[in-house]
Chain A
Amino acid sequence: MRKLGAVVGVAVLGVALAGWMRPTVPGAQGGGTISGKVKFTGAKPAMPKIDMSEEPKCKAKYTAAPPTEETVVVNANGTLANVFVYVKSGLPASYKAPAPAGPVTLDQDGCRYHPHVFGILVGQPLAIKNSDGILHNIKAKGTKNRPFNISQPAVMTSDRTFSAPEVMVPLECNVHGWMHAWLGVLPHPFFGVSGSDGSFTIKGLPPGTYTIEAWHEKYGTQTATVTVAGSETKTADFSFAAK
């Protein structure tokens, strides 16, 4: 009986300790949500066509319309795609990110990067995939992370990780000067990228007041302050204007 009491005591202490050490760890379930749309105003800039005649294998993948650069992608509903929206500050200092589920994949297909803008957790593997089977080099030009430059002349996948938060790490291919992608490296999973309808969603936030930043490769950054409590959903819309 005494023994049992000791075991129970230790167990209770353990649970209490665990609870104390990880006070408000968000899970995928629960927590607050911030969602919104990224609007675009002004004249939609024309994106230059990409001449892929040096790479017939890539060129053949664009049967409907010739490929264009993706610096500014304005959606049919007048919203702006490829905006990286993330929690810039406001998380408790004790916050610890959950272990990442698996690798994030960056695909080189049709001599373009898929996705063009995306995020990753510190330490999470980035699987760099070459689906084209022609020579690509992938160069990461971070300044807080060590830059690297590796060659992929075949259908293959290389894994790399990033050790420090950095918004953004530019990725590029020098064989094909038009290939650019942008990677946001964060110590937490609270980020999203505006999609083909211009919307983004950040889920599972612990209660608090956050500075949210929206980053676009051409139009720069905007911030908003949002307070979430419990499991409520708050809206944060952004609007970028043509330059």
Chain B
Amino acid sequence: MIDALLAFVLVAPRVPRPPSLVPLQDTTHGKVVYAKWCAGCHGDGGAGDGPAAAHMLSRPRNFTGAVYKIRTTASGQLPTDADLIRAIDDGLPGSAMPAWKGRLSDAERRDVAAYIKTFSSFFADTSQHVAALKFSSEPSGGTGATALKTGRQFYDSIGCRKCHGDQGRGDGPSAPTLKDDAGFPIFAADLHQSWRFRGGGSTGDIYHRLRTGLDGTPMPSFSDLIDQKFLTDEQLWRLAQYVRSLSPPEPPEVQDVIHAPQIAGPVPASPDDSVWGRVGRYWFPLVGQVIRKSRWFAPAVSGVWVQALHDGHTLALRVSWDDRTQSPDSAWLGFEQRVLETVASDDSASPPPKAEPWPDQLAVQFPRHIPEGMERPYFLMGSETDPVYQWRWTSSPRKSVAGLARGIERFDTLPGVVAGQARFDHGEWRLVFTRALATPDTANEVPLEAGRAIPVAFFAWDGSSGEHGSRVAVSTWYFLALDRPTPPGVFISPVLAMLVTLGLGLVVIRRAQRRGTARVER
């Protein structure tokens, strides 16, 4: 039965409808598909103004202008049909646009692409020149030091840092002024998260975007530079390779358990201690808080990297995350105001909140006790009757406190101590919390026992994006496991066993040999 269901799930969406029944590029059928799956965000008239759009940043594509970010054509040209199909098939990572391949049939995707084209008269204008650019193939040696050095030189010389920042986290001096063509605030991409690049995260994708630009956004096309020989095609590839090198080779996989190894010395309290370079790090994605009012659909922090270790007495937990601003930052107040005005609150009766110089914040959450079963407090900061224990850090004033949260609105500090050391570095916060494994307040402060699965969750606020209170990025529950030191027996026993086996074997062989010899002598 289960097998049958599984087979159905795996096979069903892939069964193409007979082409004879559904002509490709059928705009009538495309309209039906559009109304069902697309209009909620993109609007009935394709203006990017569906009911869900008002909560989004970046906004859904407005099809009436026929301006598309992800193309293979020169800046200013219409996209090819293949470009449109690709955006539908793969979605736009890092945005609300999902991949539709596997959810809609081949015919449905092609029909809806044909229908989308009817929203703009540009597609019917035969004088429009549409041709995919001729892209060269990637030169080899892209991960080598020389290639990356060349790429970095061009990153600096052609001004990428103006918007994307010195280290590529979207924190350049022009970043707080950026708007898209509709006037909505737009972030310069964080180049350390290639898995969120709208047009794909491969080196080839990056090179294509450099050639075509992302029309409708501040990101320009660099093709004129090659045409006018200011840089070579290979140098542009080197730049793409450098940009690619800023992100991990593979998109981070989410694991459920943070392993905290035990070390001999005292745990490092500094986020830049060299010990952290030898400890595994875990990625936890964050999403907007959309359960309690006011909901928040545009979280600025997309996830946190977490590392942990202990020395038998103290736990050190290192959290690092990308944040363009060291909030509060007066240079970003205008941007914050535009974000708050753009992202409609769910309380439509009240005007958008006013931009305030909020700090950046991070919270690590535990239950008060390690649960015996799978029962845990409510992940969204507990409840009145079942509070959660949290460590909270703020950038201004720079401090860390421990306390109990009873829902999003209520947080009461505890006298217990948690230490926090943080460093802001070119668009990245690195923060280390340290706390004794055992504390006197056993009623409220979770004991950090080795060998147990301790539930843990994370919350992050970017003050300069207007995040405060319930406007927060949240995770679900994960686990922290403090590894026990490996007892010496684990290493010695197998060696002893091997020696004993070897010895016994030798004895057996010797005896056999002796007998054999005796027989011959006889």
A residues sitting closer than 8 Å to B (CB atoms) are: 54, 134-135, 137-141, 143, 146-154, 156, 158, 160, 163, 174-177
Give Cα distance in the complex from A175 to B177, angstroms: 8
Is there an interface contact between B230 and A175, defined as CB atoms closer than 8 Å?
no
Is there an interface contact between B215 and A175, defined as CB atoms closer than 8 Å?
no
Interface residues of B in 60-92 (CB under 8 A from A): 65, 67, 75-78
CB-defined contacts of A150 to chain B, threshold 8 Å: 75, 213, 220-221, 223-224
Is there an interface contact between B215 and A148, defined as CB atoms closer than 8 Å?
yes
Asked if B216 CB lies within 8 Å of chain A CBs, one says: yes
Is there an interface contact between A135 and B215, defined as CB atoms closer than 8 Å?
no
Asked if B502 CB lies within 8 Å of chain A CBs, one says: no
CB-defined contacts of B213 to chain A, threshold 8 Å: 149-151
- Shortest CB distance B158–A (Å): 4
B residues sitting closer than 8 Å to A (CB atoms) are: 65, 67, 75-78, 122, 127-128, 157-159, 162-163, 173-174, 177-179, 181, 213-225, 228, 230
Is there an interface contact between A153 and B127, defined as CB atoms closer than 8 Å?
no
- Shortest CB distance A149–B (Å): 4
Q: Which residue in chain B gives the minimum CB-CB distance to A137?
A: B220
Give Cα distance in the complex from A160 to B221, angstroms: 13
Q: Which residue in chain A gives the minimum CB-CB distance to B178?
A: A174
Is there an interface contact between A151 and B221, defined as CB atoms closer than 8 Å?
yes
Give Cα distance in the complex from A169 to B67, angstroms: 15
Is there an interface contact between B65 and A143, defined as CB atoms closer than 8 Å?
yes
Is there an interface contact between A151 and B77, defined as CB atoms closer than 8 Å?
no
Is there an interface contact between B215 and A147, defined as CB atoms closer than 8 Å?
yes
- Excluding A146-B122, A174-B174, 4 further A-B contacts by CB distance (< 8 Å) are A150-B213, A150-B221, A153-B230, A160-B76
Give Cα distance in the complex from A141 to B182, angstroms: 10
With A151-B220, A151-B221 in contact, do A156 and B230 touch (Cβ < 8 Å)?
yes
CB-defined contacts of A54 to chain B, threshold 8 Å: 173-174
With A146-B122, A149-B75 in contact, do A175 and B127 touch (Cβ < 8 Å)?
no
- Shortest CB distance B117–A (Å): 15
Is there an interface contact between A156 and B228, defined as CB atoms closer than 8 Å?
yes
Is there an interface contact between B76 and A175, defined as CB atoms closer than 8 Å?
no
Is there an interface contact between B67 and A147, defined as CB atoms closer than 8 Å?
yes
Q: Which residue in chain A gives the minimum CB-CB distance to B213?
A: A149
Q: Which residue in chain A gives the minimum CB-CB distance to B162?
A: A175
Give Cα distance in the complex from A148 to B74, angstroms: 9
Is there an interface contact between B159 and A153, defined as CB atoms closer than 8 Å?
yes
CB-defined contacts of B219 to chain A, threshold 8 Å: 149
With A153-B157, A174-B218 in contact, do A147 and B77 touch (Cβ < 8 Å)?
no
CB-defined contacts of B163 to chain A, threshold 8 Å: 174-175
Is there an interface contact between B65 and A151, defined as CB atoms closer than 8 Å?
no
With A54-B173, A154-B230, A177-B177 in contact, do A149 and B218 touch (Cβ < 8 Å)?
yes
Which residue in A137, A147, A163 is a CB contact (below 8 Å) of B216?
A147
With A156-B228, A174-B174 in contact, do A147 and B181 touch (Cβ < 8 Å)?
yes
In the complex, 18 of the A-B residue pairs with CB atoms within 8 angstroms, ordered by the A residue number, are A54-B173, A139-B218, A146-B78, A149-B218, A150-B213, A151-B159, A151-B220, A151-B224, A153-B230, A154-B158, A154-B225, A154-B230, A156-B228, A175-B162, A175-B163, A175-B174, A176-B174, A177-B174
6 nearest A-B pairs in the assembled complex, by CB-CB distance: A135-B159, A148-B76, A174-B218, A177-B177, A137-B220, A151-B220
Is there an interface contact between A153 and B225, defined as CB atoms closer than 8 Å?
yes
Q: Which residue in chain B gives the minimum CB-CB distance to A152?
A: B224
Give Cα distance in the complex from A177 to B163, angstroms: 11
CB-defined contacts of B177 to chain A, threshold 8 Å: 174, 177
- Shortest CB distance A166–B (Å): 13
The residue among A147, A152, A160, A174 with the most chain B CB atoms within 10 A of its own CB is A174
Give Cα distance in the complex from A147 to B127, angstroms: 15
- Shortest CB distance A136–B (Å): 9
- Shortest CB distance B211–A (Å): 11
Give Cα distance in the complex from A153 to B162, angstroms: 11
CB-defined contacts of B157 to chain A, threshold 8 Å: 153
Q: Which residue in chain A gives the minimum CB-CB distance to B230?
A: A154
CB-defined contacts of A153 to chain B, threshold 8 Å: 157-159, 225, 230
CB-defined contacts of B158 to chain A, threshold 8 Å: 135, 151, 153-154
CB-defined contacts of A176 to chain B, threshold 8 Å: 174
Is there an interface contact between A147 and B76, defined as CB atoms closer than 8 Å?
yes
CB-defined contacts of A146 to chain B, threshold 8 Å: 76-78, 122, 128
Q: Which residue in chain A gives the minimum CB-CB distance to B181?
A: A141
CB-defined contacts of A135 to chain B, threshold 8 Å: 158-159, 162
Give Cα distance in the complex from A148 to B181, angstroms: 11
Is there an interface contact between A175 and B159, defined as CB atoms closer than 8 Å?
yes
The residue among A140, A149, A153 with the most chain B CB atoms within 10 A of its own CB is A149
Give Cα distance in the complex from A138 to B181, angstroms: 13
Give Cα distance in the complex from A212 to B383, angstroms: 68
Give Cα distance in the complex from A175 to B220, angstroms: 10
CB-defined contacts of A160 to chain B, threshold 8 Å: 76
Q: Which residue in chain A gives the minimum CB-CB distance to B77?
A: A146
With A154-B230, A174-B163 in contact, do A139 and B78 touch (Cβ < 8 Å)?
no
Give Cα distance in the complex from A1 to B48, angstroms: 74
Give Cα distance in the complex from A141 to B177, angstroms: 17
Give Cα distance in the complex from A163 to B163, angstroms: 31
